Amino acid sequence: MMPETTVPEYHCGTHDPIWLNGSHPTVAEGNVVRQACINSFDVVCDDTIDINVTNCGDYYVYYLRRAFYCAVAYCAGEKYSMLKIFYLYLQCNEPLK
């Protein structure tokens, strides 16, 4: 699951980590838009990206938008691992619109 608090720079395999600014939705809320923040150059939420999040009960599904530049990555898990599946999708398929 994406962290809901600031992730320090140089985590998630990148200089500028992306984290969820707020809480994950409940099952009843369905698919919601949430703000993801980019922590960059000591500015906790230097830029934002709107993402979609769905609570499926035992897990979450994220629709992540393309990052603006290459020194960023979405974070996931308690140890802030990078969401590599998303980047694989972008590299192997047509660009998202």
**Domain map of the chain by residue range?**
16-84
Q: What is the pLDDT of residue 82?
A: 52
C-beta of residue 66 within 8 angstroms of C-beta of residue 75? no
Name residue 16's amino acid. D
Per-residue pLDDT band for 70 (boundaries 50, 70, 90) equals confident
Residues sharing a CB contact under 8 Å with residue 22, sequence separation 6 or more, in sequence order:
4, 34, 35
Strands (E), 1-97: 16-20, 31-40, 43-55, 60-63, 72-76, 81-82
Q: What is the pLDDT of residue 13?
A: 85
Q: What is the pLDDT of residue 81?
A: 55
Instruction: Assess whether pLDDT exceeds 90 at residue 80.
Output: no
Q: Is the pTM of this model over 0.85?
A: no
